[in-house]
Structures are given as structure tokens and as C-alpha cells.
Amino acid sequence: MLNQGEAERKWLETPGSIPQHCHLLDLSETGSTYGVHALLNREVADIPAAAFVAFCPHFEIPAAASYLRLECLGEKVNIWAHAVEIRIACEIPPRALNDGRLPGYSEISNGGTLIRLDQTTAKTLWRFLNLAGDPLVPQCSRHQLGTDFFAFYAVGSDAQEPARMILGPGWSSSSAERELKRWLKSGKAKGIRSRKGFNTAS
């Protein structure tokens, strides 16, 4: 990871490359020969765009993205701004809790945002957040996206609605986990009834 704040000449992506828009970051491939990628921060509060850049191979993108978000941008990001950016970037519309159309998001009583996902949007959201692994493999996972802000993710076996995510601050963690476990046991997500806890991931 390079701090470019005092650099006279900042690193720029390879000419012709098209950066992939990710949560608070932009991802570029520096050259196809070696498969090296660069993650640059976008402008956050008083931190200018491209103040930090992380170079890494493809398989380390999740770790590099997590480091930039937590260690470099940190508390500069308002915790309530995370969910708004994610919903807009992934084109997830607001829906009532009892609305069967997918995808959709609803604000829930614990202060979090419930996102109901179809297969396509689950993959889009996973890529946007730079998460590791397969978004459609049965799982209960917790991902820290910012200072005291988390994404709680669960996947069952329902082909129509395979996954749900709850975005929220740390103080809502226990209720977010309970909500997703309740969904998994409801009969609409039969894939991982035996799981008891959430796996912590970067």
C-alpha cells in the first residue's frame, strides 16, 4: 500500500484500462502479463481521490480493499453513507418488506438495511464489495466494510431468493444475525439450517 498524499507524481492506471467501480474504491488491472491489480480510493471527506493505492494479485483484492477502507479511509466515512452508496451503485430499489419482487431493500427496526437478492444481484453486490469466495455458496458471513459498519450475509437454497444481506452499524450486529438466522429457518432458505453462527470475513 502506497500513501500518495505527498507524492508529486501520482500513480495512474494503465492507459486504456477501464476502472471497475467498487465500494469507496476503483479497481484497475495494471497489465495482463502479470495479473497485477491496483485499488485506488475515491474521494472521501477531506481525503482526495487516489491518495492511496494498493497493488496486489487478483486473489488478494479482498484483503487490499479491506485494508484501504478500514486503515486509510477509516472514520472519515459516515457510517450511514455506506448503505446509501451500495444501494445506488448496485441499482437496488426500495421495496416493502412483504413485496415479493427482487431485488429490493427495506429499512428495518434495528437501524439496518435489509437487502433481498436474486442470483444476478447477489453476484453484482459481491463484486462491488470486493468480497472473497462464491456469493451463492451456502453461508453465514460477516464482513466489515468500515469503522463500526458491517455487512451480514446469508445464503440458502431458494433459487428465486438465494441470499439476503443486512447492512448496519456494529451495535445492531446481534439483531441482524438473529434476523438472518430466522430467515434461514423459515423454510424459504433451507440450505444451511444447521449453521449456528456467522463466520467473520474481511
Q: pLDDT per residue over 147-173, tens digit each?
A: 999 999 999 989 999 999 999 999 999
**Domain definitions of the chain by residue range:** 2-76, 82-201
Evaluate whether 174 touches 155 at the Cβ level (below 8 Å): no
**Predicted structure pTM score:** 0.88
Residue with cell 469466495: 133
Residue with cell 458471513: 141
Model confidence at 14, in pLDDT bands (50, 70, 90)?
Answer: low
Q: CA-based angle 110:112:113, to the nearest 5?
A: 135
Cell of 21: 467501480
Integer Cα distance of 72 and 67 in angstroms: 7
Please give the pLDDT value at position 18: 79
Integer Cα distance of 196 and 108 in angstroms: 23
Integer Cα distance of 1 and 141 in angstroms: 26
**DSSP class of 159:** S
Please give the pLDDT value at position 186: 86
